[in-house]
Amino acid sequence: MMLKGLTAQYLLRRTFQVEVGNTILVHAAAGGVGLILTQWAKHLGATVIGTVGSPEKAELAHQNGCDDVIDYRKDDFAARVKEVTKGEGCHVVYDGVGNATFPGSLDCLRPFGYFVSFGSASGPIPPFDIMLLAKKGSLFATWPVLTMQLAKREDVLANEPRSF
């Protein structure tokens, strides 16, 4: 639980500073990190779209703050995100799934959006031409790691509750 919470903290507060008015996509929204991301992002004032793999997980994601939930087994999540956001796309996509969601995740972003990978439950993201990020809207892509987030004492101290 502590590692999941720390992961959510650096994703929401350091990797991309989620704030009121942001629209975010959380893959595996009913998973361990996904549930914390969803609850925390709602607390910060974001609109949260989540992907899940079953009706039971969809209910759990809704109960924990997702404004919209997409069952990726039934729907094309990228098309649904475009529909939900009225074509605007998301400010950030948090992806702990990896290979299965990577290409579609880029299509969910607005220009200058952030693709944040933090796991590979479906396998690693294959190498890709970095020009793809330019073609999709001058996107940013990153894979932050917990150990780097906590590498310096001042970084650990910055995680005190007053900074949330």
Nearest residue to 95 via CA among 40, 39, 31: 31
The predicted-structure confidence for 112-164, as pLDDT tens digits, reads as follows 999 999 999 999 999 999 999 999 999 999 999 888 878 888 877 776 655 45
Cα–Cα distance, 45 to 43 (Å, whole number): 5
pTM of the entire structure?
0.93
Nearest residue to 25 via CA among 133, 139, 145, 109: 109
The predicted-structure confidence for 60-111, as pLDDT tens digits, reads as follows 999 999 999 999 999 999 999 999 999 999 999 999 999 999 999 999 999 9
Q: Is the dihedral of CA 46, 69, 3, 94 positive or negative?
A: negative
Q: 147 with 155: CB under 8 angstroms?
A: no
7: Cβ contacts below 8 Å, ≥ 6 apart? 33, 36, 118, 146
**Phi, psi (degrees; rounded to nearest 5) at 28:** 55, 50
Domain 2-163: assigned CATH number = 3.40.50.720
Q: 101 with 27: CB under 8 angstroms?
A: yes
